[in-house]
Each structure stands twice: as structure tokens, then as C-alpha cells.
Structure 1
Amino acid sequence: MTQSFRVGTRGSALATTQTGWAADQLAQLSGLEVDTVLVKTEGDVVTGSLANLGGTGVFAAALRQHLLDGGCDLAVHSLKDLPTVQPEGLVLAAIPPREDVRDALCGRDGMTLDQLPEGAKIGTGSPRRAAQLRAYRQDLVIVDIRGNVPTRLGRVKGVGDTHDDGSVGRATQGDLDAVILAAAGMRRLGLEQHITEYLDPSIMLPAPGQGALALETRTAGTGHAELDQALARFDDLHTRLQVEAERALLNQLEAGCAAPIGALASVQDGELVLDAVACNPDGSEVMRRSAKAPLADVAAAQALGRGLANGMLADGAAVVAGLA
């Protein structure tokens, strides 16, 4: 009889889709079968603004507790949802190759950001996105929204009610001119046809870890030698170094995932290049900085992130971003 491993996930369409993809890859690598365990998190239950929910870790805590309690062998997270400090007893065993890191505009009538009319209403639940939008165009009206990807898409005029399979039914609220979503989630759900513009990082730097998945296990391992070996093979070094630099910067700034901080690391010509932005929530002030270091190991990537953060703090980033 073939052995199986248990993978824990949130129940949203995006969470189950990306967990299913990761689990299928691990099943092929390990030769084991998969059992999926759905876990309801505080972020799925509580209503209201993400910023007011405390932001960081609100989608991960229950899933992590289930993993610690032995309810599953492995948990799959969107890395940008995880706090930057790793809890005792758990380890990020694999970070697979990253999806598209950019933020995506889904506008009515095929419009791009520059084509939206003056005073256009754009929906986002992210202070980081809102601040960078305001910095780029002060005339825009930013509307705080929550909900899964199809629900958010349904807020755009003319898009209508978008189902998990990508099909569109009758119009729902249609009260917004556009919404901003992570391109990675849109692509994983097969909804990229609704993207009217991929926002260049020069306009909007993504959240640290955006587009990356984190496969978390207990520090002692999964209890399946084949799965532990498969996780080691599934880990992508360049992606891990990029996100380690981004998350070290966020941690050093003492900012959570609800803070108006963006960061993006990339590998260029044998170097790790890290770009970061700290924004005043109203978009009135933006601090962008960049640093680079030779491509090496996790410790060097983290040092790059901390070093850039310290430079930004010395220049007043905490005041700019309302973290002071």
C-alpha cells in the first residue's frame, strides 16, 4: 500500500489551487500520495479591514497550530502572508520557484492605470498598494476592499460575477473602476484574462515574498524520509535568496505585511539586487532605495536586507511610513 502525507491549507480557491499544485509536485518527487486537510483561519472568519486585523500572520496562525499539533505533515502558505520571524518548532522546508512578482490592475473597459479617468475608484485592501497608487496619481479614490479574488473582481464595472473557473456571470456590485490584485494569484487561478496592466515595479514595488509559496514543516521533519528529500529538491535557491533579503528588510524595519513597505530582490549578473520603498500612507512622501551584494548564501541575503533597511531607517523611513 502506498503511503500518504497530509498537507494543510486554507479553504479559499487560491489557497487550495496553489496547495494542490505544490502537493502534486511533491507527490511526484516522493512517490507518496496526498491527503489534503482544510483549516479555517482567523483571516477567513473575521470581517473588516486587513490593516485593522493586525495584518501579519492573520491567515497563517491556525494553519501553523494545526501543523504543530500534528494535524498535518506540511502546510502551504503564500509567503507574503507570513510574519518575518519564524515560530519555534517550524521551518520553511521549501520555497519553490516564484510566480510573477508584480501587482496587476484589473480595470473596466480594458483600461490601464494611466487611462483611468480622473477620480477613478480603485479597490485594494493593501496599505502598500494604496500608498503607491496615491503617490503615482493623487486624484484616484482608493476604496478598502476584502474578499477572495472572484469577489474582488466582481466589484469592477463590467467584469461581473467571476467564478473560480474563470467564467463570468451576471454583474455583482460593479461599483469600482479597477482593483489591484497580485498577478501570481490571478495566474494560478487562470484569471489573467481580466488583467489590463501588469504594474511595473518602478510604479509599484510588490510585498516582500509576493509570488512565492512557503512549504512549512515541523523542525523535526515530516515523518516521511521520502517527503523530506522531495522538499529539499523542490527548494529553489535563487527564489529563497530573493525572499530572504526582502523579509530581512521588512523585519529590520519592524513592519508587518500591512505596512506601506514594498521590496523586490532579483538576481542580476551574479549579484543579488534589492529594491525597497517606504511610503507615507497618503502617498505624499516616498522613499526608494536600492542595494546589492555578491550572490552567496541565505546569511548574506539577510545581511543585504538588514543593511538596506538600516540605511533607510537612518534616512527617516520609519517616520515616512508611519512606523515610528
Structure 2
Amino acid sequence: MSDAVRLVLDVSEREHGERLDRLIAARVTGVSRSFAQTLMKSGDVLVNGQPAKPAHRVRAGDQIVVMLPPVEPPEELEPVYLPIPVLYEDEDIIVFDKPAGVVTHPAPGHEQDTLVNALKAIRPDLRLRPSDRPGIVHRLDKDTSGLIVVAKHEDARLSLLKQWQGRSVVKRYLALVHGVVEPDEGTVDAPISRDPRDRKRMAVVPGGRPAVTHFRVRERFRCATLLELTLVTGRTHQIRVHMAFIGHPVVGDEVYGRRGFVVPVPRQFLHATYLKFMLPSTGKAIELETPLPHDLQEVLDGLRAREDRTLSGAGTGPR
């Protein structure tokens, strides 16, 4: 049996006033707010040595101790049926249109309801073990929706890994960001590494790993801009970090973004909309695309309706 994991988190000035459960979910990889709340109920979260409730507002300088229970991975992944559409499949790969809220592979607090658990359910013949991160070549954050490719065997995984590492894969995202982005297109070329002030976050850091993001404006609003982004590299949280770095953080991003928006936002507005790569067996190029999911489309519709009302009330014509 593995030992429990003890994590110590120091609250920064930036996090002053944040809800305790939200802070833990943002700082501890793989731990959701609901799992954080469960830990608090069992007394496994202490703030300055004292138990605290999920809604507790932390202060800069507080020390938080989180005790994560030991996790013994089963010999085989448990199959779990989840509503995750399959957009493409052959003998080598399967491409999912991942909804927001689904974790890619098992982690503390998310041992079962993951993408690979769903893969085990729909393809029970595949031999999948939790510790192997089976077939995973690239990842999407839990709250990012869109296209993700999973290899069904090792040769396919190695073929895909070579393409991802060689930067021959075309990866495009849609993101709604705060503020009006002035240039119609541009590039953010800024190295990314762990934030030296907060190791649970990423940041633009001199001497970090090279990171390049191209962007193109799709639509402008009075307070936000819809961007199409193409990743040249694939660093952790790359789009979210780069957009915050240029002063236009992703709307709904609770880690790198701003609080509040003019219309309700259910989660971070980031969607992996397009992939182009070579099929492992044939070498033939394949292009896949998926539109914005309903929750993000509703945000755009709300913005457009709000701006139409504003323009109508001001007595001005269309922009």
C-alpha cells in the first residue's frame, strides 16, 4: 500500500481572498473542487493548522496542508461509459471529441471517470493499465473541450509521438479572450516554464522552454475577442499562459484569467477545434474539425445579443 501524500501550499498575494476549494483545485493537479471539499469534510485540509470549510477565504501568507489518500491502481482499468463522441477510428487510433470536465487519464481525485476509462468501456479488447497512460500522446486540460487522439497500440503511439515531437501536426484552437485584440493576426514567441513563485502554475520565464503561438482574430466584441490559435509547440497551459502574458487572458480561466464577465461563462472558453496529422499505418494525411460545443456557443450568442441591444439603445448603426 502506498503512503498518503502530504502537500504544503503557501498562499500568494495574487490568491488573497480566493475560496479554499477553488484554490486547491487550481493548485493541485488532478484534484477537482468536489474532491477538495470531500478532503475538507474528512479533516484532511488544514489552514494554518486548523480545519477549514470550502468557502473559507484564504489570506496571503496562509499555509495550507492537503493530505491526499493513497491510491493503489487496479491491475486493469475499470470501464466507465461516458458521453464522449468518437469522430474517427481505425485499427491504429481513435479520435474523441472530449467534453469539458473530463480528465484525460486517472489521477488523484479522478481515478475512474476519465477518457481512458471510457476507452476501456467501448473497446474492452484493448489491454489498458492505469500506470501506463495508455496511448496518450497529447493532452487537453480538464476544462478544455475538443479533439484528442489516442493510440490503440504501441507502434501507433510511437508514430504519433514522432509527429507531435517533430511539430508536423497542425493544432488549432478557438478561444475567447478578454479585451479587444488590435492586430488581425500575430505571434506570441515567449518561453514557458514553471512559475518560480508558484510551482503549480506555468509562466513566461526567461530561459524556459521555447513556446510559439500564432493567433488570428475571428470576431471582435466591445469587451472580448474570439481568436483562432495555432500551436507550434505544445507546452503545458501554453495558450492560457501566452494570452495572459499579452494582456488578453482566456475568458473563464480561473488560474490565469480575470474574475467576472459580462455574460455567464460555464468554464474556460478554450476548444481544440482542428487537427491535421499523418495516419500511422498509411502515412496519409487526415484533417478533423469539430465546432464549438453548445455551452461555449451560448456564450458567443449572449455576447452578440448584448451588443445588438447596446447598439440599438445607442441609436447607432451596425459596426
Q: TM (normalized to structure 1)? A: 0.27
Q: Which of the pair is proportionally richer in strand? A: 2
Query: Which has the higher Rg, Structure 1 or Structure 2?
Result: 2
Work out which structure has the larger RCO, using CA pairs closer than 8 Å and 6 or more positions apart in sequence: 1
Q: TM (normalized to structure 2)? A: 0.27
Q: Which of the pair is proportionally richer in helix? A: 1
